[in-house]
Structure 1
């Protein structure tokens, strides 16, 4: 096998429509089709592949019955054959040079074992909704994730198979935050990560505030499952909840730097939404730590 054979893993959950655009973009990659494979992991057993669905010749589809995108990604890793493994999501549209640029980034600096690529947002209209304004500042800041804590999200991530061999698979019981938890393990095992500006996937910005609320709840449930929080006693969980209710003043520099083209009222609105969502996340983290089942949607 070619040393740079790539396996692309895509979990999907009731999302065949948007996945079709993702698969179409992968069929147009400038990286040779015989040097990469696509593994789609259907994470809902009752949702069959639609009739006459366009499936590239180098694509295989599997079903993972255990709920959660990290369980799905783990099945993809197990079934894959590449020595480089790439991840994206069913609502992402990779640029045509996505895979080739990722491989080139590995070859250019061999000290890096992980690549976090750029996630470029696109919007439904020129006049952004409140949710889109928020996404413009906060969604998928891969460069910040890499710089601050050596992590990257699986909407656009590549790594060598040997990293999974050494640090293990994703934590399957997490419905959110599993990519961060895995990245911390990889970082602590000295597998360095590089942010690659030219390794690009395109992702739709969330349009409605209720989409942000649903995500905030997923994040809270995921955080409650992290080892450092999962064994907290009720009193300590309540103390942690009060601590999490602090206004997110540390987000002000990011709003200023990424919102240079926003008017002051828009910046204040983004800050308010950030605080509102942080409260929802904190509340959900408390509820799950006290025994509630984490939400998937």
Structure 2
């Protein structure tokens, strides 16, 4: 039974210890794109030649990406090693050629300047024997030490003596540490790197090859698509390898970011900080809204689509499904055309950039897909709120109750792409080839058992549509004009700035009051000290005066007794 991993919590898996007696059965294809640097490639292949994973289960595909002079295969290499030549420049093209030629159950990317430790492949493959939807990443160490020769690498039990001291892959290790080993993050796919990462071949069948238009950032974009295909990402500190020299980002981080950020922003919606513009459109939207126009009236569909487009969430696209191939614009009697509503919808949205008229649905690379019945309109902030609910609670499905009557319920569904892709990977083989696959991608039915899989691996939630601002199309109010909406935003911003200034003013006043109170406290303390001193002086004076008074009284008594004796003597 395939393990059901919730989110990215791969800790439910228990891989065997390295070097223990377990029986490998999966074949791995190591794809090594290379350009020049024959000496480094020789070390990479020398490291692969002495792996502890069975040699008959390893194939290595070296792809020469336009080297001059051409690369060659050295004497020290794995038994099953091939050399391909890719005439198209670019790392993505080279990797895609190797991917197309690979026959392994697992694809293991490895750059031609990486030297793996003997257990590196075994460390990866022990995980892939536990589940078919994993992506495992090695811990790389970056070295600038003088290079040994290939024979020394092949004979060494521990490569550290050649390559230490080294630097860690700092940003990956920091991310792993901050997220409990990637078990608490929405962006675990970020650690997918081409230097030393392995992925189940079935995942690549779902996610597709690398994007050749990506000049930089290919690994991140590929990792994102793997996540949408249902992947779980595992960093393995026991899968160790050495990177010969610093990475491109280490050498020139600012230039790398300048080139890669626009490309990544267009294709990876969950990197919200890269999408700074509030209203522009992107190649891959954050949300796809699906409205089925088949059998629906034009007015109902328009009420729903127009409300979606008028909302505060603009990073979206709308797919209006229907039998568009049956629409014939050349009808002689348009008013009696059985597809008149579709004709009107095509006229209404034919030139709206955020709306596409499609006959069916394909797998989505958008992280979320909302299925909304025609005739129901979300409020201005509804989609943002529902999306926020799903993201905050890591939900795979949010079902929204819109109406209920004796015939059943009417509802909408917000589906997480990666959750339903993971569920599709977990259904039994006969389901994956038929109905289960259809339901997993939402092309028919109400989800059936697939919803149960989604609940198990991500979680589901029922929400009340009225609470979140959904109304029937007839009850929806007029949409604010662009100018009115702009004025409202400006006014709201002005109010925020006014309140911010007022808060700062009050804070300043409070600070003054606190300072004044401090002065009064200090004055009161001084007064108390002075009063205490005066009290001590008075007490001392009283004691002094009391002693003087006693002495005077004694003298008076003595004098009185003497006078008495004198008086009595004279009298006698």
Please report the TM-score for the alignment, with normalisation by the length of structure 2.
0.35
The 1:75/1:216 distance shift into structure 2, 3 A limit, reads farther
Q: Does 1:224 align with 2:257?
A: no
Q: Does 1:199 align with 2:239?
A: yes
Please give the alpha-carbon distance, in whole angstroms, between the structure 2 residues aligned to 1:99 and 1:53. Answer: 21
Residue number in structure 2 paired with 1:76: 98
Please give the alpha-carbon distance, in whole angstroms, between the structure 2 residues aligned to 1:122 and 1:134. Answer: 5
Post-superposition offset of 1:166: 0.4
1:121 aligned to which of 123, 142, 151: 142
The 1:99/1:137 distance shift into structure 2, 3 A limit, reads closer
1:186 aligned to which of 217, 226, 231: 226
1:106 aligned to which of 122, 128, 134: 128
The number of residue pairs the alignment matches comes to 225
Q: Does 1:150 align with 2:188?
A: yes
Q: Is the 2:33–2:63 contact (alpha carbons within 8 Å) kept by the matching residues of 1?
A: yes
Within 5 Å, give how 1:1-297 maps onto structure 2: 3-44=25-66, 46-50=68-72, 54-107=76-129, 109-110=130-131, 112-124=133-145, 136=168, 138=170, 141=173, 143=176, 147=182, 148=185, 149-151=187-189, 152-206=192-246, 212-213=251-252, 216-226=254-264, 228=266
- Helix, strand or coil at the partner of 1:206: coil
> Relative contact order, CA 8 A, sep 6+: which one is greater?
1
Post-superposition offset of 1:46: 3.8
The 1:4/1:181 distance shift into structure 2, 3 A limit, reads same
Post-superposition offset of 1:139: 6.0
The 1:156/1:137 distance shift into structure 2, 3 A limit, reads closer
Please give the alpha-carbon distance, in whole angstroms, between the structure 1 residues aligned to 2:276 and 2:28. Answer: 45
Please give the alpha-carbon distance, in whole angstroms, between the structure 2 residues aligned to 1:168 and 1:119. Answer: 26
Residues 23-55 of structure 1 deviation map (CA, whole Å, 9 limit, x = unaligned): 001001111211110000111154312596655
Post-superposition offset of 1:228: 1.7
Please give the alpha-carbon distance, in whole angstroms, between the structure 1 residues aligned to 2:87 and 2:141. Answer: 31
The 1:204/1:65 distance shift into structure 2, 3 A limit, reads same
Q: Is the 1:115–1:195 contact (alpha carbons within 8 Å) kept by the matching residues of 2?
A: yes
- Helix, strand or coil at the partner of 1:225: helix
- Helix, strand or coil at the partner of 1:153: coil
- Helix, strand or coil at the partner of 2:71: coil
The 1:168/1:101 distance shift into structure 2, 3 A limit, reads same
- Helix, strand or coil at the partner of 1:65: coil
Q: Is the 1:11–1:42 contact (alpha carbons within 8 Å) kept by the matching residues of 2?
A: yes
Post-superposition offset of 1:216: 4.3
Post-superposition offset of 1:57: 2.8
Residue number in structure 2 paired with 1:128: none
Residues 266-295 of structure 1 deviation map (CA, whole Å, 9 limit, x = unaligned): xxxxxxxxxxxxxxxxxxxxxxxxxxxxxx
Please give the alpha-carbon distance, in whole angstroms, between the structure 2 residues aligned to 1:193 and 1:22. Answer: 24
- Helix, strand or coil at the partner of 2:47: helix
The 1:237/1:195 distance shift into structure 2, 3 A limit, reads closer
The 1:198/1:63 distance shift into structure 2, 3 A limit, reads same
Q: Which runs of 5+ in 2 are unaligned?
A: 1-23, 147-164, 269-273, 279-572
- Helix, strand or coil at the partner of 2:43: helix
Post-superposition offset of 1:106: 2.2
Please report the TM-score for the alignment, with normalisation by the length of structure 1.
0.65
Residues 115-141 of structure 1 deviation map (CA, whole Å, 9 limit, x = unaligned): 11211233439xxxxxxx996574654
Residues 143-172 of structure 1 deviation map (CA, whole Å, 9 limit, x = unaligned): 369735122211110111111100101111
Residue number in structure 2 paired with 1:271: none
Q: Is the 1:111–1:192 contact (alpha carbons within 8 Å) kept by the matching residues of 2?
A: no
Q: Which runs of 5+ in 1 are unaligned?
A: 126-132, 231-235, 241-297
Q: Which has the larger radius of gyration?
A: 2
Please give the alpha-carbon distance, in whole angstroms, between the structure 1 residues aligned to 2:125 and 2:168. Answer: 28
Q: Is the 1:68–1:174 contact (alpha carbons within 8 Å) kept by the matching residues of 2?
A: no
Q: Is the 1:112–1:194 contact (alpha carbons within 8 Å) kept by the matching residues of 2?
A: no
Please give the alpha-carbon distance, in whole angstroms, between the structure 2 residues aligned to 1:43 and 1:17. Answer: 16
Please give the alpha-carbon distance, in whole angstroms, between the structure 1 residues aligned to 2:169 and 2:137. Answer: 18
